[in-house]
Chain A
Amino acid sequence: MVLAADRLEWVEGWGMAVGAAGYVYRPVDTSGVSDAIASARNDGVPVAVRGAGCSYGDAALAPEGVVLDLTRMNRILAWDPGTGVVDVEPGVSVEQLWRHCLADGWWPPVVTGTMAPTVGGCLAMNVHGKNNWPRGTMGDHCLELDLITADGSVRTIDRSAGGELFRAVIGGFGQLGIIVRARIRMKKVESGLVEGEAVAAPDLGGLLERLDEAKGRWEYAVGWVDAFPGGSKLGRGLLHFARHLEADEDPDPAASLNPASQDLPATLFGVVPKSIMWRLMKPFTNHLGMRAVNLAKYVQGSTIGNGSVYRQSLAAFSFLLDYVPDWKKTYLPGGLIQHQSFVPTAKAETVFAEQLEICRRRGVPSYLGVVKRHRPDDFLLTHAVDGFSLALDFPVVPGGRADLWAAVREMAEPVVAAGGRFYAAKDAALPGELYRASFAGGELERFAAIRDGVDPDWVFRSALVQRLLEV
């Protein structure tokens, strides 16, 4: 046995609902990555690559295998403020990225709802943001990357010359190797502020319609869904649209582009430390409490908040999930899972309505629902379609895991029938056969052929890969 017992750690998905013991390596450079891969191969165990651990489920877990935690490889290697091109190590976080570049007038072209994820993780899981329709995914802005494959060799893969290998690495869940350098083109911004507009929608149809109308008009568009009510109120929600301010609209662009001006407040109403907020929220994190919270949010947003126009810092608008530190702890002891499915436009309303009804019928209400408009991309295992996604957060209550997992299965079936896809970064509970059924065009076979070419032993197999792709 090569793997030392003192490397063994309990590693969890972000939602804290799934975890596994794994032998954790935290390399600081490429030779450390190669050593860890060699150890795993020598011991015959799989490797999972891990960034900030922001995937909700088992994407960065390797039960009894090697977990390659890359957060210590977090150097920004090169930055050209003239072109907006940045070279980073895989452990550089979204936060590091924007803080490094904003003062020069650049912002990440795609950001997640929290600034914690790493660039390597974003590329491996093909993440998107609230601007998926106009900007695509983070991978769409990756120009080049260095990949350490299972044999320890380093390949530089250029976006244009890399062909299908490049398109397989992005969104390939780390199966083809370890991204140890990525070159990203940032997005030029003239101000550190956005102008947003909030609009209420009384039902799911209205919500999706408004979201669709926004796709050519707004940089950012996202909808919140109150997943509790049924009938005519099914899928009601609030929409938030936003655009970057132009230089002449911002009274002091230099100030708003100062990263310090983007810091999220440490207190609520200037009084309550945010660090204790999750404890105050915990008593409400149950079916009854969350029904009330969702209702209050909708009532507020559909009355005094409806049609409101506001200005916010980029960070405040973009990183809503960072507003309350540790808010996920309100879901303890069971944690939470999320299910996010992508459905083509024509069938989205029908499928999402069915999913919300399934939740209601089974008594597993979602505490938070989010809809977005998406465009397809050309990555081999992409989840993206020309349509909409609905992301639903669920608490994992003691004794309720089996029912919840069964509900996810039932919700996934109409997605497959509609030609939809699933977002693996969020998933913890999807049955492998349904996931595989969502790829009807031979993508999995093409991916497997590429994988066999670079790693016939399939070393890089996270728990997610084992669950979704191993037959």
Chain B
Amino acid sequence: MDFEHALVVGASSGIGEAIARRLAADGSRVALVARREEALERISEEINTAAGENRALYRVHDVTAADEVPDLFQEVARELGGLDLIVYAAGLMHAVAFNEFDPEKDLEMIAVNLGGAVAWLDPAAARFGRLGRGTIVGIGSVAGDRGRSGNPAYGTSKAALHTYLEALRNRVARNGVAIVTIKPGFVDTAMTRGQEGLFWLISPDRAAEIILRHARRGTVCAYVPARWRLVMAVIRSIPSVVFRRLKI
């Protein structure tokens, strides 16, 4: 067990839930943060029952409420008895039609995917940088690697998250802090359910397994699964004038 105390933001479903469950199964004390209390309570109970001890605690929080974060962050660290790892897994992807330009939807995605990350990871980076240790994992997306026409704000939020994580790394990696950017492909979660054209779909648990492996290694940037790295290298190399004519 490398992470004695961990905090997962966006832990009520999908990749965040799977990461929280895996961490606890490996012996970590885990704090689960998300909006849906019912799901948090159920997951925490299941974790604690499986472990035979209280390894999970939870806090209800909407990541767009940035002003709550400083106190909540300190409170969670205190209740856990420390903090070695924070995973920002909260994410929102609205269904957006090709001709739809809805600032409300778009700004909400940016608020959750980027604003929430900044609210949580800024104090985490400050704390870890001060202590000279700690690991930050941000769940980005392959969608952030290119400005796809399908969902501009979602891709933008993930691209900005990647840049933000890189900038954090450039600030605090020299102090011994690992900042891990994760770019998943298609993962079988509520976010992707019902979408067409999905391939290489992996389960949240499989994604969590890979992500935690990279977290333990302190990988700078990892595609999940790894074959997406090659795919995205090709996609990134497509000239813009060509890319805008493609249906990807």
Contacts and interface: CB of A to CB of B under 8 A. Distances in A.
A64 B77 contact: yes
A64 B127 contact: no
Given A1-B71, A1-B74, A64-B77, A20 B82 contact: yes
Contacts of B80: 64
5 contacts: A1-B71, A1-B74, A10-B132, A10-B133, A63-B82
B235 interface: no
A198 interface: no
B81 interface: yes
A21 interface: yes
A116 interface: no
B133 A8 contact: no
B71 A21 contact: no
A8 B130 CA distance: 8
Given A1-B74, A5-B126, A64 B131 contact: no
Contact of A21 (B1, B82, B126): B82
Given A63-B82, A64-B77, A8 B71 contact: no
Contacts of B71: 1
Contact of A45 (B1, B78, B126, B132): B78
A378 interface: no
Interface string B70-96: 010010011011110000000000000
Contact of B131 (A1, A6, A10, A402): A10
A457 interface: no
Of the four ranges (under 10, 10 to 19, 20 to 34, 35 or more), the interface on chain B belongs to: 10 to 19
Of the candidates B1, B77, B81, B83, the one having the most CB atoms from chain A within 10 angstroms of its own CB is B81
Contacts of A63: 81-82
Of the candidates A1, A9, A64, A402, the one having the most CB atoms from chain B within 10 angstroms of its own CB is A64
A21 B29 CA distance: 16
Contact of A8 (B1, B81, B131): B131
Interface string A23-53: 0000000000000000000000100000000
A402 B77 CA distance: 24
A20 B131 CA distance: 9
Nearest to B80: A64
A80 to B, nearest CB: 45
B135 to A, nearest CB: 14
Contacts of A1: 71, 74
A428 to B, nearest CB: 14
A8 B127 contact: yes
A63 B1 CA distance: 18
Of the candidates A8, A10, A20, A21, the one having the most CB atoms from chain B within 10 angstroms of its own CB is A21
Contacts of B82: 20-21, 63-64
A223 B81 CA distance: 39
Of the candidates B1, B71, B131, B133, the one having the most CB atoms from chain A within 10 angstroms of its own CB is B131
B84 to A, nearest CB: 10
Interface in A51-107: 63-64
A63 B84 CA distance: 12
B127 A5 contact: yes
B188 to A, nearest CB: 32
Nearest to B74: A1
A64 B132 contact: no
A63 B29 CA distance: 14
Nearest to A10: B131
B78 A64 contact: yes
A316 B80 CA distance: 45
Minimum-distance CB pairs A-B, first 8: A64-B78, A10-B131, A63-B81, A63-B82, A21-B131, A20-B82, A1-B74, A21-B82
A5 B123 CA distance: 10
Given A10-B131, A21-B77, 7 more contacts: A5-B127, A5-B130, A8-B130, A9-B130, A20-B82, A21-B82, A64-B82
Contact of B81 (A5, A6, A64): A64
